[in-house]
Structure 1
Amino acid sequence: MNQQLSAAPQHTSSAPAATGDSPSAVLAVPPAPPAEAAALLRAALARHTDVSDVAADLATGTPGFTLVDSRSTAAWDQGHVPGAVHLPAASIRAPAARLLDPARPVVTYCWGPGCDGATRAALALAERGFRVKEMLGGFEYWVREGFPYDTADGRRTTAPDPLTAPVRDADDCGC
């Protein structure tokens, strides 16, 4: 196939290309129209937050939400976000009503991206009338970002885990 390159775009329609019209793996399925994309992205942000935003809000001392660690007791004891409430996903239903304020949004987290404990905890809470979000990346990314965490023996650790800490030139990822 012989293609000629020109400075002017060949396709002037504002409609996205049909599936399969692009040699690009990224564009094989065209992007959603802007209004549809905005609605989907807004819905995603209504359900998710990230560790940097949680840390920034916790640093204010009045974050406006309750942070829930949905991992096991053994995982909690190894390390957890300071100020989090421990409610393991497997048994969250009974203690949630007495430990959480239903008028206050809840942010759940679990071990990391490969764990669905935060999702299960958020579902259980949402089914009981709580407004919920999940913290993307979970405790693993909290540690990777170098944020402090507490352990069951009362230690506060602020150094990132050297095996999982990212190499970065600045403290802010820019997102």
Structure 2
Amino acid sequence: MMTLSAVLQFPPPDAARSEAWLREKLAYYSDAWDLAQDLANGITDIVVIDTRAAEQYQAAHIPGAISFPHRTMSAETLAALDGSKVYVTYCDGIGCNGSTKGAWKLASAGLRVKELIGGLDFWLRDRHPVAQGEEAGSWPQQDLQACGC
């Protein structure tokens, strides 16, 4: 009796289609290591937005992130943002869609946006620094360890 492969039950596309789809997927997301590397290197083309409630932001947030709860985003509030930047949204983690709602609102306003995969949960899992309080804070002087992925 021949065993059928669960993985190959739906065969993968050819390499060119896979490459195009995966490049497209990467255009929408950032992971914690890539974002931490850019923040550590002082990349100014990105702005990190914490889409959670202000209380959650004050308890812990990514250093340098601005608090902009998705529930307060509107055409009027988004008009103040710089259209030349790329915005990276995050919320608590994969069980929260606040970053998706925020990213959708930013994109609807004509802004370029990516979501942080896994939100603050994955950020903390990777042992990146956090800031507390109402101020955005800044990236601490430290060397990033190499990512295992």
Class of the TM-score when normalised by the shorter of the 2 chains: 0.7 to 0.9
Partner Cα separation in structure 2 for residue 50 and residue 29 of structure 1: 27
Q: Which has the higher helix share?
A: 2
Q: Which protein, 1 or 2, shows the higher relative CO under an 8 Å CA cutoff with sep ≥ 6? A: 2
Aligned to 1:18: none
Please state how far the C-alpha of 1:114 moved relative to its aligned partner: 1.1
Please state how far the C-alpha of 1:80 moved relative to its aligned partner: 0.3
Does the 8 Å CA contact 1:87/1:95 hold for their aligned counterparts? Answer: no
Cα gap change, 1:174 to 1:105, in 2 (>3 Å): same
RMSD between aligned alpha carbons?
2.0
Task: Map 1:37-52; keep pairs closer than 5 Å.
Answer: 37-52=18-33
Structure 2 residue 77 is matched with structure 1 residue 95: yes
Aligned to 2:148: 174
Aligned to 1:149: 130
Report the number of matched residues.
Answer: 142
State which structure, 1 or 2, has the greater radius of gyration over its C-alpha atoms. Answer: 1
Aligned to 2:96: 115
Aligned to 1:6: none
Instruction: Give TM-score scaled by structure 2 length.
Output: 0.87
Task: Map 1:1-175; keep pairs closer than 5 Å.
Answer: 1=1, 23-93=4-74, 94-98=76-80, 100-152=81-133, 171-175=145-149
Uncovered stretches (5+) of structure 1, i.e. residues with no partner: 4-21, 159-170
Deviating above 4 A after TM superposition, structure 1's stretches of 4 or more consecutive aligned residues are 153-156
Uncovered stretches (5+) of structure 2, i.e. residues with no partner: none
Cα gap change, 1:37 to 1:66, in 2 (>3 Å): same
Partner Cα separation in structure 1 for residue 79 and residue 93 of structure 2: 26
Does the 8 Å CA contact 2:48/2:65 hold for their aligned counterparts? Answer: yes
